[in-house]
Structure 1
Amino acid sequence: MLVSTVSLAALLPWWRPGSTEPFLDDNGHRLPQSISEKLSVPVNGVLQGMVIRGENTSNPVLLWVHGGPGMPDYPLTQQYPTDLEDLFTVVWWDQRGAALSYASDIPPETMTIEQFIDDTLTVTDYLRDRFDQDQIYLLGHSWGSFIALQAAARSPERFKAYLGMAQTVYQLESEKIAHDYMLAAYKKRRDAGMVRDLERAPVTMSTGTPEAYLKLRDSAMHRLGIGTTHDMTSVITGIFLASWRFRGYTLREKVRLWRGRAFSRSFGLWDQLIRADLRETVPALQIPVYFLEGKYDYTCVTSLARDYFEKLQAPVKGFYVFDNSAHSPLLEEPRAAHRILEHDVLAGATTLADLR
């Protein structure tokens, strides 16, 4: 009986109801102007899910466009809370084909970069209308920064500012830099096995990222602390197993998370992403721009983001390096990020920026 009870307790996180926690005052009463809900809305022919959380719905809206393709950031917030809900109404949107927005009958021909950009603008309009705000804040993370930055360039009138976390620039060049860095690092560690595997799977500007490299990429990066977070040493324990313990999705939604990840990566989006150079295609934005970069990020190399930032034309620009972060600084160093968003982004200023 004791064994059964222990086993049941171990499995309970898998069967959470997937509800979102309300915001409460010191007396345990719900904050009257707060919002904490999970919902789905039709977006360009596909029902797409999102979680909306904030302490006061009169605060500015921040639309978070996640990475991947097909890998929402929201499940990471159980271990890495952002604590931004006092400043913004934060919208964790699961993109077409991902997690809450996964469905097996999504038309394959709609899984294109152009469609994702259009979806971003449609979700933006839904939020502008719902919260009666002419403009909202737009944050893109990794793959999401590739989509969101182009959405901001296409329709700047919809947005107060653009925030790029682990900003994608020219991903093939980033992968080449990362491969060279990892090869040198593992040689220094005298890890003959990883050195052999990396040497057998070279990344070049002409041939791209071979399948053998992509299979070992996540493991190699996380063992060096240059992957999702600086303290995450394994995607198995840090993301996969953690996702099954996540309280914000139901068991069915957790299954959809991983089915959606596989689905989203089966349409050649990666090949389209790595060949695009935003330095060439988006040389300017008409709204304030903030780049939030991890010192140890080699998933989207910080030096490339710096190079792009220096060339990018915008009315206000702020560049911020987080010294204890890799690919997800708003999750890894939430206090520093909160200060930047409160004192610079919301004020349209760059007083805390590394580069102005």
Structure 2
Amino acid sequence: MRIVGVALFILLAAVSFGLAWLWAVSPGVPAPLRDAAGRLIPGSLSERVTVEIGGIPQGMFIQSADPSNPVLLFVHGGPGMVEFFMEQDYPTGLADHFTTVWWEQRGAGMSFSTDFPPETMTLDQMIADTIEVTDYLRARFGQDRILLLGHSWGAYLGIQVAVEAPDRILAYVGMTQTAHQLRYEIIARDPMIEVYRVRGDTRRVARLEAAQVSMEAGTSPEWLRLRNAAMHGIGARHMHDMDSVVTGIFLPMLRVRAYTITEKINIWRGKLWSRPFFWDDLIRDDLGERLTEFEVPVYFFVRAHDLTANPELSRAYFDRIEAPVKRFYVFENSAHSPLFGEPERAIEILLRDVMRNVRRN
């Protein structure tokens, strides 16, 4: 009994310590911006705001070394997976050159709530929300147009906003741009299985082979349960050095001070809650068949061997696009997130090519 009592005491102490640590690192305040020497940058901006968008409160982080810099709106992936937390371990440097806005979409992160009607979780509403956020930023920072950067699901959403609201957009950047997601899923399956077969992971191979994905049936529940962990396991999901959702995303997210404890919980609730509203339409939609004419410059950032967004299919879609300017960039040393994997190159392209073409026009 004494051993049991000691074990229970240790367990309770560990839980109490863990909870105290979690509270301590969850004030819900983003860190101020500092220069390379650690000094606060005068006149810089680092804040979180909540704005009523589409009839509900939606949150965003805004960071800028100089708020007069061009506004860049980052449209995160998922559906429902916020990405501001990535700045902690994979700093992009965007805020040094842009007024960078990490908006958390309806149903995601700070914008998750069980109070608003689920029937508002539609693609049309998401497009309308993005345009409304754009208008808020244009008015607040006194800029006629802003730069739109979409990632994965956010690229699926963002490229449609670029068509719907060209008068508000300087240029559109699609990072790991989706074109026809179901085809991507089908193409990814066999190479992934082969990697695990070479490793001798027969259990994983058997599970992946039993998880069906096809043009006729779509993505089976078994495939959706396995795909993310399997891609992370071979460094082909979010980042090359991220081989686990737990160690690469869940635990680092707990350390991010910009979120409260409730918001950290809601990040995962939002991810699970949001995807079913959009997934079937997302995977079936062939953008190359309906969105090819753009009034704004279009730029694609792709990874050379992406299993989530096949670069050859993205290139085939890009080749069909007509735009005032269009450029296609391949990132050889990244996984699914080139901006976080090769930030120096991404920033160079944004400044040298994207913004230079915008100013020229």
Specify the TM-score bucket, using the shorter chain as the normaliser: over 0.9
Match of 1:307 in 2: 316
Q: Sort the Cα spacing of 1:25 and 1:145 in 2 relative to 1 into closer, same or farther, 3 A.
A: closer
Q: Deviations over 1:63-96 (max 9, x none)?
A: 0000001100111111111111111000000000
What TM-score results when the alignment is normalised by the length of structure 2? 0.91
Structure exhibiting the larger radius of gyration computed from Cα positions:
2
Hey, what does 2:332 align to over in structure 1? 323
Q: Quick one: distance in 2 between partners of 1:293 and 1:333?
A: 11
- CA distance in 2 between counterparts of 1:295 and 1:332 reads 13
Q: For structure 1, which segment, 10-19 or 237-246, has the greater mean C-alpha deviation from structure 2 after superposition? A: 10-19
- Please say if 1:336 is aligned against 2:339: no
Within the alignment, does 1:46 sit opposite 2:56 as a pair? Answer: yes
Q: Structure 1's 45 and 342: CA in aligned 2 closer, same or farther, altered over 3 A?
A: same
Letter in 1 for 2:354: V
Asked whether the 8 Å contact 1:203–1:209 carries over to 2, the reply is yes
**Which of 217, 227, 245 is the matching residue for 1:207?**
217
User: Taking structure 1 as the reference length, what is the TM-score of the superposition?
Assistant: 0.92
The SS at the match of 1:246 is coil
Asked whether 1:223 is paired with 2:252, we answer no
Matched, 1:60 2:70: yes
Superposition deviation, residue 6 in structure 1: 12
Deviations 1:201-237 (A, max 9, x none): 1211111110001111011111111101111101111
**1:158 corresponds to 2:207:** no
Contact 1:187 1:195 in 2 (8 A): yes
Aligned length: 346
Mapping of residues 163-174 of structure 1, within 5 Å: 163-174=173-184
Task: Kindly report which structure 2 residues correspond to 1:1-356, keeping only aligned pairs within 5 A, or say none.
Answer: 8=17, 12-13=21-22, 15-16=24-25, 17-24=27-34, 30-267=40-277, 269-348=278-357
Counterpart Cα distance in 1 of 2:302 and 2:337: 8
Aligned sequence identity (%): 50
State the SS of the aligned residue for 2:131: helix
Structure (1/2) with the larger helix percentage: 2
Pairwise CA RMSD of aligned residues?
2.0
Structure 1 residues 115 and 28: CA distance shift in structure 2, 3 A: same
Structure 2 SS opposite 1:243: helix
Change (3 A) 1:11 1:226: farther
For structure 2, which runs of at least 5 residues remain unmatched after alignment?
1-9
Mapped to 2, the partners of 1:115 and 1:102 lie a distance apart of: 15
Tell me the SS of whatever aligns to 2:51.
Answer: strand
1:27 is displaced (CA, Å) by 8.3
Instruction: Give the distance between the partners of 2:21 and 2:155, measured in 1 at CA.
Output: 35
Aligned counterpart, 2:4:
none
- Who is 1:354 aligned against? none
For 1:223 and 1:5, how far apart are their aligned partners in 2? 30
- Cα separation, 2, equivalents of 1:201 and 1:299: 16
What amino acid does structure 1 have at the position aligned with 2:310? V
Residues 5, 270 of structure 1: CA spacing in aligned structure 2 closer, same or farther, 3 A cutoff?
A: closer
Letter of the 1:15 counterpart? A
**CA shift for structure 1 position 247:** 2.0
- Secondary structure of the corresponding residue to residue 356 of structure 2: coil
